[in-house]
A and B are shown apart, each in its own frame.
Chain A
Amino acid sequence: MMRVVLLAGVAALFAVPAAAQDHSGHTGHTGPAPEEQAPPQTEEEAATPTEAQANPLGTLRRPAPPRVVPQTHQAMDHSQMDHSTMDHSAMDHEAMNHGTDVPSGPPPARAFEGPLHAADAIFDPQRMARARAYSRVTHGNARYATILAERLEARITSGEDAYLWDVSGWYGTPTQRIVFKTEGEGEIGGGIEDAEVQLLWGHAIGPWFDLQAGVRLDVEPDTAAYLALGVAGLAPYMIHLDAAAFVSDNGELTARVEAEHDMRLTQRMVLQPRIEFELSAQDIPERGIGAGLPKVEAGLRLRYEFVPEFAPYVGIEYETATGRTAEIIRAAGEDPGGVNFMIGLRTFF
């Protein structure tokens, strides 16, 4: 009942244009309206209190429309233009002229009157606040999680057969993500030779790239911890790029650049060229790494997407070491370069 009286009071306010325009008077108006103002004295929308209860706004008069009288020259121009609208070919031209004649600018002062949210005046403001909070989550602030296994493969090498995994995932919004990456390889039937895990914070630094910062932990061959800083995203020509620098707990600086591109041969068959470089700023003898380019890989994988999330592939890859690293490998009596064949699976969830 209180609401009805209040609303009716506001209606009376609107019935008096001067009062309706007076914003300062408006905000102060919180008490119940004087009884004599309650019956709306309007000619077209006189409503009974029962109707008011059913539809509070039904009792209310619309504010008097504040007419803006166009300037004389403007009005003349436009009346001429309207005649020309019969000619369709002139459409764009006409629309543009209109656009330049009509002033841009801020909304009129009356557009800022009243409470922040209209519905708060009708419904429980706390419920409205909860609804708005939920609305924010469901209109642009949703968090998702996904895992992509770009490479899960068995490799036939010149020596022993090996396996490799290259999996990443993220959780977060389109611009702020917790990123997880793991890569590693081992001998089939043997142990894990190489394994690392990264946990990163990804932050969008542009439409296509994220800055990723965090830690990397090597589990094999030796335990080592690194700080990681890199960028990942989509480079021109649809090249997926992931480049990162690592500083180990011993102060050694290394870096890695991976790039791949999906060439769609058919709707289901995709040829993926992929290159990977590893760089080192110094010799790390205990890991068999020399300064320069300790590893260069160039591969081609051909996958077939039975469904996008299940795509087995075959591939060939050339792997080599250069400079000091190659010397170290040769000194051990091994060949620094070699061709691998692989079969594997690309999958995501």
Chain B
Amino acid sequence: MKTYFSCMITSRRKFLAGSGLLAASGLAVPAWARGQSLTHARNGFGEVSGEVIDLSIRDHHFSTGGRSGHAFAVNGTVPGPLIRLREGQDVTLNVTNHLSEDSSIHWHGLLLPFQFDGVPGISFPGIAPGETFQYRFPIRQNGTYWWHSHSGLQEQAGHYGPLVIDAAEPDPRYDRDYVVLLSEFTPRHPHDIARLLATGEHYFNRQMQTVTDGAMSMEDRLMWGAMRMNPRDIADVTGATYTYLINGHGPADDLEFAFEPGERIRLRIINGSAMSFFNVRIPGVPMTVIAADGQYVDDVEVDEFQIGTAETYDVIVTPPAGAHALVAEAMDRSGMGIASLSSRPGQRATPPALRETPTLTMVDMGMGGMDHGGMDHSAMGHAMPAQDTPAQDMPAMEHSMRDTSLLPASVEVNAGVDMVSAMPMDRMDFPGLGLDNVPHRVLRYTDLKAKRANPHRMPERQLEIHLTGNMERYMWSFDGKQFSAVTDDPIRFGYDERVRVKLVNDTMMAHPIHLHGHFFELVNGAGMMNQPLKHTVVVQPGSTATFDLTANEPGDWAFHCHLLYHMHAGMMQTVTVRPFPVDGE
């Protein structure tokens, strides 16, 4: 067991040394000895483990490729260190804030007492400048997770890192173990990005539909225009300002993962970005998905998968000898993160070209059920019945795009709601925007089946929550109410209550919705006992997604869209599970 563990560490070191960026040597050689400014954050991360772990948050500079700017680095690196724990251990994490503003760390996907969950204003007061906060909790799970700041927009600026919990029992299915942490770097100040998004100028979108490009008919163009919607609203913040990173390295850094031919490699893919969905593939190398959000699933072999912000997938690959490109293409195809899987040190793979930007369809407007009653799933991605929507029907269409009478009373109708999905349908079998017509196997939520059976228990109650927004004003909310308006009005669950929660997306963006402190089960057709456990679910545009939650972790928990600027704009709520084991004084 011990040997096995150290073997994986050796593999990791090997990859770092092979990266050609002295990242590994950075662990041993002090920065001053390499002639670097101490305030310059290293790209990539070291590893910390054990019962007591100290983390410190500081201001740094960061650069990759031609871009550089300010960063918040934890223990001097961006991303921060890999926290490697073991199932069943107790851990004490001393987090010291050396910034001039409050900070925090949230342990994403971990089951823990709520006061150590790390969300200022919900689970604890935050960590004041100069203060050290001690997190202490037992490790009750294993798998691939991550951690990040939950204060303001710090996560965008480098305050995040991977977290891996080794299973109590060894897993013989792989020989080598790599963390693949996807994120993005921007030289802009995160508050500047938030402000530009609020101006309604589509500032970062440089892939708008033009008058001449694309296959969209005139009728459809007019229809989109009539609705005041942009069919290329795939990503709010794009490669126009982002350099997409793998383990803190941009494409120019030539990051390399070493392997021996014939080895089975476990890749722990974490989407630790602020705003990006990625299409992950290794052309020519099939991937066997073994875990989603840290929880084991039955093996599924795919050629590509889309990973929403804050999700994790563990895959096992057995690449043939040579160099293979590990590609993390942004969903809007405005850029990609690149690394090479190489069996010969220094051999780089040629990355594939960026593919064409996807364009939204009728289904993404919540018109999914309009044409075929939603039963024809195969036609879903391109169900664009232009012939069914002649120009003279447009006023009716426009009206139905915001028919607020379709909303339940729990939704507040206001300026923050610019669309109502008229016929939203469940799209658990949708592979993700732009991946519905690629000629190879793509992972879908319907492919995920929990490896270990869940207790069979029917929900006692159902709850519908609408995801609402206004693209032009850049307002995002649940049920039309921004978090600023409902901090004292949480979503309530009784302790051990089992609730079926249906998320209805009344917007044209995909939202990765994350519940803290729990795993919920995706209602994906896998059968009640094999519904996959997840902490984050992507709700496709104009669609629904449903999960079953057994609310068995008492306390107050954050529940939010994991697109950072959506959360910042209000798409967040407190979930409370009661009674608490403590009472007020």
Q: Which residues on A are within 8 Å of B, measured CB to CB?
A: 6-7, 10-11, 14, 20, 26-27, 29-30, 54-58, 60-63, 65-68, 70, 74-75, 78, 82, 85-86, 88-92, 94-95, 98-99, 102-105, 107-124, 127-128, 130-132, 134-142, 144-146, 148, 174-175, 204-208, 234-238, 263-267, 308, 348
Other A-B contacts than A118-B123, A140-B569, A207-B473, 6 sampled, CB-CB below 8 A, are A57-B113, A68-B460, A68-B498, A118-B556, A175-B416, A236-B228
Check if B495 sits within 8 Å of A65, measured CB to CB. Answer: yes
A82: B residues at CB distance < 8 A? 456, 527-529
Q: How far is the CA of A194 from the CA of B122 in the complex (A)?
A: 55
List CB contacts (< 8 Å) of B101-143 with chain A.
Answer: 102, 113-115, 120-126, 136-138
- The docked-state distance in angstroms from the alpha carbon of A29 to that of B552 is 24
Chain B residues near A266 (CB, 8 Å)? 210
Contact between A91 and B525, CB atoms less than 8 A apart: yes
Per the 8 Å Cβ criterion, residues 441-494 of B in contact with A are 446, 456, 458-464, 470, 472-477, 482-485, 487-488, 492-494
Is the Cβ of A108 less than 8 Å from the Cβ of B497? yes
Cross-chain pairs A/B with CB under 8 angstroms, 13 sampled: A29-B583, A63-B554, A65-B552, A102-B461, A119-B122, A123-B125, A138-B151, A142-B198, A144-B194, A144-B199, A145-B195, A174-B416, A175-B475
In this complex, how many residues of chain B approach chain A with their Cβ under 8 Å: the count is 107
- CB of B120 within 8 A of CB of A131, answer yes
Q: How far, in angstroms, from A209 to B585 measured CA to CA in the complex?
A: 47
- A107 cross-chain contacts in B, Cβ below 8 A: 461, 492-494, 497
Q: Is B172 engaged at the interface, CB distance under 8 Å to the other chain?
A: no
Chain B contact residues, majority secondary structure: loop
Determine whether B5 belongs to the interface, using a CB cutoff of 8 Å to chain A: no
Contacts of B570 in A (CB 8 A): 139-141
B235 on interface, CB distance cutoff 8 Å: no
A75 vs B458: C-alpha distance when bound (angstroms): 8
Please give me the 9 A-B residue pairs with the lowest Cβ-Cβ distance, nearest first. Answer: A140-B570, A140-B482, A135-B121, A91-B525, A65-B496, A115-B584, A204-B415, A141-B484, A85-B527
Chain A residues near B416: list those with CB within 8 A.
Answer: 174-175, 207
Contact of B211 among A27, A139, A264 (CB under 8 A): A264
Bound CA–CA A267/B206 (angstroms): 6
Question: Is A113 touching B579 in the complex (CB atoms < 8 A)?
Answer: yes
Separation of A56 and B585 alpha carbons in the complex (Å): 15
Interface flag for B14 (CB, 8 Å) = no
Residue in A closest to B410 when the chains form the complex, CB atoms:
A104
Residue in B487, B495, B500 with the greatest tally of chain A CB atoms within 10 Å: B495
Query: Are A70 and B523 in contact (CB-based, < 8 A)?
Result: no
Residue of A nearest to B553 (CB): A62
A121, B578: Cβ atoms closer than 8 Å: no
For A174, give its contact among B120, B470, B578 (CB under 8 Å). B470
B483 touches A135 (CB 8 A): yes
Neighbouring A residues of B568 by C-beta, 8 Å: 138-140, 142
Chain B residues positioned under 8 Å from A119 (CB to CB): 114-115, 122-125, 556
Q: Is B75 an interface residue (CB 8 A)?
A: no
A105 touches B461 (CB 8 A): yes
Indicate if the CB atoms of A7 and B582 lie closer than 8 Å. yes
Query: Provided the pairs A102-B462, A108-B494 are in contact, do residues A63 and B199 lie with their beta carbons within 8 angstroms?
Result: no
Min C-beta distance of A17 to chain B, whole Å: 11
B579 near A63: Cβ-Cβ < 8 Å: yes
User: Is B388's CB within 8 Å of the partner chain A?
Assistant: no
B398 beta carbon closer than 8 Å to chain A = yes
| B397-422 interface code vs A (CB 8 A; 1 in, 0 out) | 01000100000000000111110000
If A175-B473, A264-B209 touch, does A95 touch B194 (CB 8 Å cutoff)? no
Q: B482 — nearest CB in chain A belongs to which residue?
A: A140
